[in-house]
């Protein structure tokens, strides 16, 4: 196991590589997306968004419910939604990776654990379906382990037949 201090030192040493500007931009976007995701997920952000919609609705009679009045809210929400997709996805990717690493550490720390599932996120949907059938069938509780380090096409059919 690599101590956290060592990981930070390695990260710092590699950040001085020739691609420093590329890594710096990625780090800036990562911090930005984390900050925006936390802020927009707060009750204050919801309150502000609700107030904007109420204010927009109240001004409807003033602008005679014109096309321009409708265009303001439609354009604003479309732009914000489009940009938030990327910000939220960045934050979600980071969180997913952190969870996967924590789970991998838990599996690796138990010598009795089957570490076959450590890289399960790399499996196809079909392979995941086979593993789901396997674990739902109760074979894992009886000590039966799926064959092979990865499920091949032929192994996939055999596992599916065995687990059904």
Give the count of domains, the chain.
Answer: 2
- Global pTM? 0.59
Where among 91, 109, 127 does a domain terminate? 109
Domain carrying residue 130: 116-163
Predicted confidence (pLDDT) per residue in 36-78, tens digit: 999 999 999 999 999 999 999 999 999 999 999 999 999 999 9
Average confidence (pLDDT) over 143-164:
52
Q: Quote the crossing angle between the two packed helices 20-40 and 67-109, to the nearest 10°.
A: 110
Where among 66, 86, 109 does a domain terminate? 109
Same domain, 81 and 144: no
pLDDT confidence band for 109 (50 / 70 / 90): confident
The mean-pLDDT minimum among 20-29, 30-39, 59-68, 94-103 falls in: 20-29
Q: Distance between CA 152 and CA 118 in Å, rounded?
A: 17
- Listed in sequence order, the DSSP H helices in the chain are 4-15, 20-40, 43-58, 67-109, 125-136, 153-163
Q: Which residues 6+ apart lie within 8 Å of 114 measured at CB? A: 107, 140, 145
Same domain, 21 and 100: yes
């Amino acid at each position: 196991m690599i101590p956290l201090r060592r990981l930070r030192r390695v990260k710092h040493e590699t950040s001085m590589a020739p691609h420093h500007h590329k890594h710096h931009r990625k780090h800036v976007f990562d911090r930005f997306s984390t900050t925006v995701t936390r802020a927009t997920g707060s009750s204050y952000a919801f309150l502000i968004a609700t107030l904007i919609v109420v204010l927009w609705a109240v001004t409807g009679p003033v602008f005679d419910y014109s096309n321009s009045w409708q265009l303001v809210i439609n354009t604003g929400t479309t732009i914000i939604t489009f940009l938030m997709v990327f910000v939220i996805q960045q934050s979600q990717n980071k969180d997913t990776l952190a969870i996967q690493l924590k789970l991998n550490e838990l599996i690796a720390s138990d010598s009795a654990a089957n570490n076959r599932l450590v890289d399960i996120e790399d499996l196809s949907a079909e392979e995941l379906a086979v593993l789901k059938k396997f674990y739902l069938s109760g074979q894992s509780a009886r000590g039966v382990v799926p064959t092979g380090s990865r499920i091949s096409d032929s192994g996939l059919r055999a596992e599916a037949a065995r687990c059904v």
